[in-house]
Amino acid sequence: MVDFGKLESEQLADLLEDAAKLWLAHDGLWFQAVESVLGMEMAIRLDEEAMARFTVLEAKRIQKRWQLPKNSGLDGLHFALERRLYAHINEQQIERVSDRTLILRMIDCRVQAARRRKGMDAFPCRSVGMVEYQGFAQAIDEQIETECLSCPPQVEDDSAWCAWQFTLDA
């Protein structure tokens, strides 16, 4: 077993990046296998079911690891979004629009880039993303509402693969 305490910070960062890439690669390969056998519609349905569980687990793990209090509002959500697995491998932008609104833009998405490289259509991830981001946000704070601003197949913002708005219900 690796003694992580003896690794340099750069080695730990590289290890985290590798783990995040491998997690995402496994997710993508699993999805493509289901898609090839059962079709896109069923693959998305199963992805939504898995993501509904995973996103809450990830949020709760981040809360525990970083001692983030329950119902920590948009500050807590911003903090947690920066610590998700894919935040280490995707280029994202988080903007605080107001005291009640936060917007996340996925500028560069490894999933979409991989599909593009393989000559595949963009992954129509809007419904899966809604399950994912809404579940994650509400695990951080039950009063946060999530809205999709742009996401395949309905892209409204050409500056990002997807954009999500989080509003704290006061």
* pLDDT computed for residue 157 by the predictor: 83
Average pLDDT for residues 120-148, to the nearest whole number? 96
State the residue for tokens 């090839």.
Answer: 36
State the pLDDT at residue 120: 86
List Cβ neighbours of 105 (8 Å cut-off, separation of 6 or more).
92, 93, 94, 95, 157, 159, 160, 162, 163, 164
Of 7, 54, 57, whose CA–CA distance to 26 is shortest? 54
Would the pLDDT of 122 be above 80?
A: yes
* Residue 146 scores a pLDDT above 80: yes
Q: At 95, list the tokens.
A: 């903007």
pLDDT recorded at residue 2: 83
Rounded Cα gap, residues 133 and 146, in angstroms: 7
pLDDT tens digits for range 22-52: 999 999 899 989 999 999 999 999 999 999 9
Residue 101 above 80 pLDDT?
Answer: yes
Query: Which among 52, 65, 64, 97 has a CA at the least distance from the CA of 78?
Result: 97
CATH number of 48-168: 3.30.1380
> What are the sequence ranges of the domains in the chain?
48-168
Q: What is the average pLDDT score of the chain? A: 94
What is the arithmetic mean of pLDDT over 149-165? 92
pLDDT band at 170 (very low <50, low <70, confident <90, very high): low
